[in-house]
Amino acid sequence: MKTSNIPEPIQTPLTPAVFQILLALSEMEMHGYRIMQAVQQNSNRQMHMGPGTLYGSIKRMLADGLIEESGERPDPDLDDERRRYYRLTALGRKTVKAEAARMDALVRKAQALHLLPDREGDS
Amino acid sequence: MNTLIPFTREKSAVSLAQWLVRCHPAEFRNQYEDELNQVLRTLVRYGLDDGNDGTANYLWRVCIPDLCSSMIRERFNQWEENMKRNFGVWIGAGLIVLWVLYVGLTEARIFLHLPIKDPTIWLLGDTPANWAFTSLNVFIILAPILALILMAVPHIQFSRGAEEGDLAVIRLRKVTGASRVMILTASLISAMILFLLMFGGRL
């Protein structure tokens, strides 16, 4: 029987900043400025993440093993400065899935209480 | 003329932001100062998601307050980590302060005839039991030694090396600077106190 070596996801709920960074990195590996852009786009410009919160969260997420550095290289769309890229670890992916599932359960509860309209495709 | 206003506002915001970055704890700065400054430069050059429009506003409205709060947060985290790492040192320092206060008050009362109450009576009451006196005497003797040990232990580095087998060994040769001075001072003072206790009466 194949057993997974990935540790259990860290305790949810996550802070909004950590969840948004994990969500952004689940798409692709990114550097700091791209993460800030992705957070703004993913939240329909409702969440503005400043650089202090971003790197404070990155520091703690690296320590918790949720993300890892994936080397330095220039971004082809920006200037030719070398930038440090970050990507999700297996633990980070597991944690963001757990958090998304927790949020989904809350949304379903809100729908059942008619606080939200039913989503398309839901029975 | 109006085109100069956003530029000036951006420039002053970036200068303030860079100053705030420098106010973060050294450990954080060593890791992320370059990246933070790179993000600020990119923000000014490209804007966030809709070009340069509103970059100055974004810097003033989001980045500056965010850097202020992250500076406080990171400084607090650093302080908390230091407290945890040097818990023994704080207990040791507290013990030394208590010991100095106790001995100082006692000596001041006896030798300087100051009109203050005997600190032993504060601690044990007017009719203390023998065991309490004995405990206090043991504390007075052992407190500075215990304090010095507590203060020195965090500076000692234990390591496991293949050449030493599985036993943890103390590698004082690798301990440098203030830590080495701390360990040597603590050892010397402890040895002196023990020597005086053991042979003081015979001198």
Interface test with A, best of B27, B37, B38 (most A CBs within 10 A): B38
Whether B71 has its CB under 8 Å from any CB of chain A: the answer is: yes
Mean pLDDT of B65-73: 94
Instruction: Test B49 with A79 for CB contact under 8 angstroms.
Output: no
Q: Which residues of B touch A50 (CB under 8 A)?
A: 62-63, 65-67, 70
Q: Average pLDDT of chain B?
A: 72
CA atoms of B100 and B62, how far apart (whole Å): 51
Asked which of A72-86, B9-23, B79-93, B123-137 is least confident by mean pLDDT, the reply is B123-137
- Give the model's pLDDT for residue B109: 73
> Chain A interface residues facing chain B, Cβ-Cβ under 8 Å?
32-33, 36-37, 40-41, 45, 48-56, 58-59, 78-79, 81, 83-84
Residue type, A62: L
What ipTM does this complex have? Answer: 0.83
pLDDT in tens, chain A (123 residues): 445 566 776 677 889 999 999 999 999 999 999 999 999 989 888 888 999 999 999 999 999 999 999 888 888 777 778 899 999 999 999 999 999 999 999 999 998 898 988 766 555
Distances (CA, A) of A11 to A92, A98, B97: 12, 9, 41
Q: Say if residues A48 and A32 touch (Cβ distance below 8 Å).
A: no
Half-sphere exposure of B20 (CA within 13 A, CB side): 25
Instruction: Test A40 with B49 for CB contact under 8 angstroms.
Output: yes
Instruction: Test A33 with B43 for CB contact under 8 angstroms.
Output: yes
Asked which of B38-52, B132-146, B159-173 is least confident by mean pLDDT, the reply is B159-173
Q: Which residues of A touch B48 (CB under 8 A)?
A: 36-37, 40
Whether B72 has its CB under 8 Å from any CB of chain A: the answer is: no
- Give the model's pLDDT for residue A58: 95
Q: Is a pLDDT exceeding 70 seen at residue B14?
A: yes
CA atoms of B23 and B191, how far apart (whole Å): 43
- Give the model's pLDDT for residue A51: 93
Instruction: Test A53 with B63 for CB contact under 8 angstroms.
Output: no
Sign of the torsion formed by the C-alpha atoms of B161, B163, B169 and B175 = negative
Mean pLDDT of B69-73: 93
Instruction: Test A51 with B69 for CB contact under 8 angstroms.
Output: no
CA atoms of B33 and B40, how far apart (whole Å): 11
Q: Is a pLDDT exceeding 70 seen at residue B101?
A: yes
Mean pLDDT of B150-157: 64
Mean pLDDT of B147-170: 56
Q: Average pLDDT of chain A?
A: 86
